[in-house]
A = this chain, B = another copy of it.
């Protein structure tokens, strides 16, 4: 019988049971009932038993707002993602959700809609309802983030900012691995399909890739910025076909998958004519056609760690900001292969040879 919450008083307009009701029913003081729940050790076993029974009978459910008002703690954590449409963040949310639940917290979800202004709004709105905020891929200026962090603990994901805690997936070694992989396959001309201009990780990815390319002596063309969505991949692919590139490094998997699709439409074979790589290893990257070679980032881990950091910050007296970097690894699949022979069979798609 797991469900016996309905009070005997069966009025249709629901008037929730309060601590006072339980106290009256059990014939004890309000404070005793309160203690029974928040500090069971401080109350006589028999009394507690009695109180608990009354509470159960009346279907008592503690009022979260009242508790939060008094204690200042909401047992709620916020997660703000820059684009809830992106499966990439879905993984993060899942990790955060799991860890939060485990630690007895509830998750509030916010979406910044890829807009700085929307991000600001949603943070403002949620800031007082939570004990802390995970902000993923923030596009807000450093100073503003710092301001918010003075109000409630904040942990950034895939963005680092002066004085704030952050969890990022590796953005130097990882990108390098992509370039090395391509280089070892014989590719000498690369194209980078760039992500959004305000994106911190987009900038980091590009600079790491550009540096690696320079080191290895391969040329690379930066294209874009493109919207980091499947639709963006089409334009990106078209743009890339206008270059000499034999391999496309997309800013993320969405873009890469979009590019894959567009290339197929145009009859360009992957990886025979062109190789394609992505970032993140999102859901679907392993079953698209061909499966995508991508820098797999442990985003669920990032979510978990961010929540851990956040809880630590919200619980203990604010320690120094932490910066975590999570390792990424290159997941090699079918979308990358040896570079095509230079003079050979690139089909009709290559304008300049």
Contacts and interface: CB of A to CB of B under 8 A. Distances in A.
Given A2-B144, A87-B87, A257-B287, A97 B111 contact: yes
A260 B287 contact: yes
Contacts of A109: 93, 97, 107-109
A125 interface: yes
B97 A84 contact: yes
A150 interface: yes
Copies in the complex: 2
Interface stretch (A126-134, A176-184, A273-281, A336-344): A126-134
A76 interface: yes
Contacts of A16: 128, 151
A216 to B, nearest CB: 31
Contact of A150 (B14, B90, B141): B14
Interface residues of A, number: 54
Contacts of A87: 87, 90, 283
Nearest to A127: B61
Contacts of A150: 5-6, 14
A304 to B, nearest CB: 13
A3 B151 contact: no
Interface stretch (A24-32, A65-73, A219-227): A65-73
A87 B125 CA distance: 27
B6 A128 contact: no
Contacts of A129: 64-65, 76, 106
Contacts of A284: 283-284, 287-288
Most chain B CB neighbours (cut-off 10 Å) among A16, A109, A110:
A109
Contacts of A289: 287-289
Interface string A1-16: 0110110000000101
Interface string A91-123: 001100110010000111111000000001010
Nearest to A90: B90
Contacts of A90: 87, 90
A212 to B, nearest CB: 29
A88 to B, nearest CB: 11
A143 interface: yes
Contact of A84 (B64, B94, B143): B94
Interface in A140-168: 141, 143-144, 147-148, 150-151
Contacts of A76: 108, 129
Interface of A: 2-3, 5-6, 14, 16, 61-66, 68-69, 74, 76, 84-85, 87, 90, 93-94, 97-98, 101, 106-111, 120, 122, 124-129, 141, 143-144, 147-148, 150-151, 257, 260-261, 283-284, 287-289
Given A84-B94, A283-B283, A288-B289, 8 more contacts: A5-B147, A6-B150, A62-B128, A65-B68, A101-B122, A106-B125, A108-B108, A108-B109
25 contacts: A3-B141, A3-B143, A3-B147, A16-B151, A61-B127, A61-B128, A61-B151, A63-B69, A64-B74, A64-B129, A65-B68, A65-B129, A66-B69, A76-B129, A87-B90, A87-B283, A90-B90, A94-B111, A101-B111, A106-B108, A106-B125, A107-B108, A107-B109, A288-B288, A288-B289
